Structure 1
Amino acid sequence: MSTRAEILRLMSDGAFHSGTDLGKKLGITRAAVCKNVHHLAQSGLEIHRVTGRGYKLDTPLTLLDHSRLLKLLGKSATEIRDRLHLLDEVDSTNRYLSEHVVANADINGTVCISETQLSGRGRRGRSWVATPYCNLMLSMAWRFPGGPGLVSGLSLAAGVALLHALEEYGVSGAGLKWPNDVLWDNRKLAGLLVDVQGEAAGPTLVILGVGINGHISQPDAAHIDQPWVDLQGITGKTTDRNRLSALVMLHLLDMFQLFADKGFAPFREEWQKRHLFHGRRVRLIQGDREFSGTAEGIDETGGLVIRHARNRKVFHSGEVSLRLVRA
């Protein structure tokens, strides 16, 4: 663990810690403490400094812990133990898996989780804003023997799995927005990003990225251009990211295994029931074009079916931005 991470671990309780005490515990100078705290603050964490009292995080946090994660995974820990990559900092968890595990023969269920993500991606080229050490940035890899066409609808199946994980964590009232978002009170709580690599005949490598807002600091919130919410705002408590991570991993493993066996079909009905925009007037933005109509459901591949007058049109993920038509 880096010095910066060690300082953060000591400060994670949200109490004041003097530079002298932190330095003694870690065997470094007060100047080194000050330098590392400054870097932590620059990363997006809100840290208060009070003369005579020391440093204090604006909100307590739970650091990711490899041993606790394995314990929380229970029986599944055996199959994932050597496939769990827990990082302090990375440009992108999806990119990390793509670069480091793509050649592995037994890749299924390989996971990368990072405390800090420098270049996280959302859909349609957007950046994913996440306060370091406060949110969940997780990616899981899976290789399918067939071509890319056989994984149509996987991102929607993953949305159902993510919703189950959040509900088991204790979040109620969340729903899905086609194709890759989880909303709570019409505000974005989580999102998914699927990277697919493969030839037409297969095999196909899928790297699924998950981002969940645990706590977004005020400086980071200023960079988000849509309504959002975080778990701390919903529950009023510090997010237990180890428990949340374990739940997400367990539900994604189940999802991948069922999808590999039966495809999207087992997930289609529940996804439609959980779609917050179902039966509502929507507006789809596709480049410079717009299409308005009523969201009727999804087809067997996960494409969104929109009806306008007597016409029905199917849209596929990655092409459009979906918004409600306000009365």
Structure 2
Amino acid sequence: MADPQPELSALLRALADGDWHSGEQLAMRAGCSRAALAKRVARLKRDYALDIAATAGRGYRLAEPLDPLDAEAMRDALRARTDTVTVLDTVDSTNRWLLDAPPSADPQVCTAEMQSAGRGRRGRDWASPFGRSLYLSVSWHFAHTAAALGALPLAMGCAAADALEAAGARAVGLKWPNDLVVDGGKLGGLLIEARGEMGGSFRVVVGLGVNVYRHAGLDALDQPAVALADCVTGAPPARSALCAALADAMLAGCARFAEQGLDAFRDAFARRDVLRDRPVTVHAASAWQGIARGVDPSGALLVADATGALQAVHAGDVSVRPA
């Protein structure tokens, strides 16, 4: 569930610039006592794992400045796509929040400064520190069958990669089925969840996590990782503008996929496919090696086995690693 604490949100935004702020002035602005302010700072440090210095005579200071998400700016930027944009400070998972939201409001966008239970594919944890990355989800209704939706991660990857490159990232590749990579390091990942609806349609929530700034959690991932700040010239764009651009691209991609399926994205995916013609190890019931040969019309990875025969590998069954 979301953690609605407006007093903490206001204090965070007052401290976001990374400068020293007088405790007396912060308390006056918040309409609380100095003791109550100190408790709020302690909650920020405990609940959001933020490094906040406190020094007598100087006040409080964030160790690293934050670029808070601007809810109104995002709603304005996405007005042509959706009337429902939710921006949270904390949530267990933006995907889960949208899955529980009323479907009648779709298409919707949900983003948060921090996730307490972020997940990747196959149930892996996703490092989600406060304000260092982007965590966003969009919802859409598809008339497709469940099998046809198997190619949706590839389409969403193409949409997200285009938006990241437009924001200044260099040469974003796609690692089947759901990773965005730069120079061999993971920049972001997708998680797609669907629920069947009456009439045979599917309500789909597409979640995207993008590392914007480096943080300690990147070192704990099971593969090399990069942040957008490592992949652009100068500073990354404002997180609100980047989040809105990604959400816009994903919603546009959902509409295009609904009309044309994977055909609309196959050439784009082929250009970004970092596994194509490379040796890979397929980890299924038993591990075997082959050469990746692109994807089939359903989005399955085609791998040439030792005999040269093409085997279709489905995302739900295996994990794939470059050999």
Instruction: Report the TM-score, using the length of structure 1 for normalisation.
Output: 0.90
Measured against aligned partners, the alpha-carbon deviations of 1:157-211 in whole angstroms (never above 9, x if no partner) come to: 0000000110111111221111000011211111000001127971111111111
SS in 2 for 1:37: helix
* 1:100-111 equivalence runs, <5 A: 100-102=101-103, 104=104, 107=106, 109-111=107-109
**Closer/same/farther in 2, CA of residues 51 and 205 from structure 1, 3 Å limit:** same
Contact 1:195 1:207 in 2 (8 A): yes
Q: Where does residue 297 of structure 1 map in the other structure?
A: 294
Contact 2:74 2:85 in 1 (8 A): no
Whole-Å separation in 2 of the counterparts to 1:189 and 1:121: 15
Contact 1:162 1:252 in 2 (8 A): yes
Measured against aligned partners, the alpha-carbon deviations of 1:240-269 in whole angstroms (never above 9, x if no partner) come to: 111011111111121111111111111112
Measured against aligned partners, the alpha-carbon deviations of 1:21-41 in whole angstroms (never above 9, x if no partner) come to: 221221222222222222222
Q: Where does residue 32 of structure 1 map in the other structure?
A: 36
Q: 2:135 matched to 1:133?
A: no
What is the aligned counterpart of 1:61 among 58, 61, 66? 66
- Percent identity between the two aligned chains: 35
What is the aligned counterpart of 1:167 among 160, 165, 168? 165
What is the aligned counterpart of 1:80 among 82, 90, 98? 82
Whole-Å separation in 2 of the counterparts to 1:123 and 1:249: 20
Q: Where does residue 217 of structure 1 map in the other structure?
A: 215
What is the aligned counterpart of 1:195 among 190, 193, 196? 193
Give 1:54's aligned amino acid: G
Whole-Å separation in 2 of the counterparts to 1:100 and 1:138: 14
Q: Where does residue 48 of structure 1 map in the other structure?
A: 53
Q: Where does residue 306 of structure 1 map in the other structure?
A: 303
**Closer/same/farther in 2, CA of residues 284 and 227 from structure 1, 3 Å limit:** same
SS in 1 for 2:60: strand
Contact 2:280 2:320 in 1 (8 A): yes
Q: 2:92 matched to 1:91?
A: yes
Whole-Å separation in 2 of the counterparts to 1:32 and 1:223: 36
Q: Which runs of 5+ in 2 are unaligned?
A: none
Measured against aligned partners, the alpha-carbon deviations of 1:64-93 in whole angstroms (never above 9, x if no partner) come to: 1222113333xxx14412x11222221111
**Closer/same/farther in 2, CA of residues 163 and 222 from structure 1, 3 Å limit:** closer
**Closer/same/farther in 2, CA of residues 307 and 78 from structure 1, 3 Å limit:** closer
Whole-Å separation in 1 of the counterparts to 2:215 and 2:25: 26
Give 1:165's aligned amino acid: A
Q: Where does residue 283 of structure 1 map in the other structure?
A: 281
**Closer/same/farther in 2, CA of residues 201 and 72 from structure 1, 3 Å limit:** closer
- CA-atom RMSD in angstroms: 2.0
Q: Where does residue 223 of structure 2 map in the other structure?
A: 226
* 1:177-188 equivalence runs, <5 A: 177-188=175-186
Contact 1:147 1:201 in 2 (8 A): no
**Closer/same/farther in 2, CA of residues 182 and 101 from structure 1, 3 Å limit:** same
Instruction: Report the TM-score, using the length of structure 2 for normalisation.
Output: 0.91
Whole-Å separation in 2 of the counterparts to 1:188 and 1:254: 24
Q: Where does residue 313 of structure 2 map in the other structure?
A: 315
Give 1:226's aligned amino acid: Q
Contact 2:188 2:210 in 1 (8 A): yes
Contact 1:147 1:199 in 2 (8 A): no
Give 2:257's aligned amino acid: F
* 1:18-29 equivalence runs, <5 A: 18-29=22-33
Indicate the larger mover: 178-187 or 306-315: 306-315
